[in-house]
Amino acid sequence: MQDYELYYWGLPFRGNFIQLFLEEVRADYRKLDASEVYPDKNLNIRYPGTVT
């Protein structure tokens, strides 16, 4: 069983600092995709940061 579950959205380098920290302290973790939390239809963002 993992000590931590790291949910990663897939933006470059977004979760790398946390992942590197977990590696450094030798924590047992599992890296998961954001689709585990949100349905795939909600991950489709056409214009992030704008109101459409």
Question: How many angstroms separate the CA atoms of 52 and 40, rounded?
Answer: 20
Residue 17: the pLDDT is 86
**Total-model pTM:** 0.55
Per-residue CA distances from 42 to 2, 36, 37, 46, 51 (Å): 27, 12, 10, 11, 16
Strand extents, DSSP E, the chain: 4-8, 29-33
Could you report how far apart the first and last alpha carbons of the chain are, in Å? 43
- Kind and range of the H or E element at 20? helix 16-24
Residue 40: the pLDDT is 58
Q: What is the pLDDT of residues 31-41, one digit of tens each?
A: 887 777 766 55
Q: What is the pLDDT of residues 1-52, one digit of tens each?
A: 678 888 777 677 777 888 899 999 999 998 887 777 766 555 566 666 666 5
> Where in the chain are the domains?
4-43
Residue 6: the pLDDT is 80
Residue 19: the pLDDT is 87
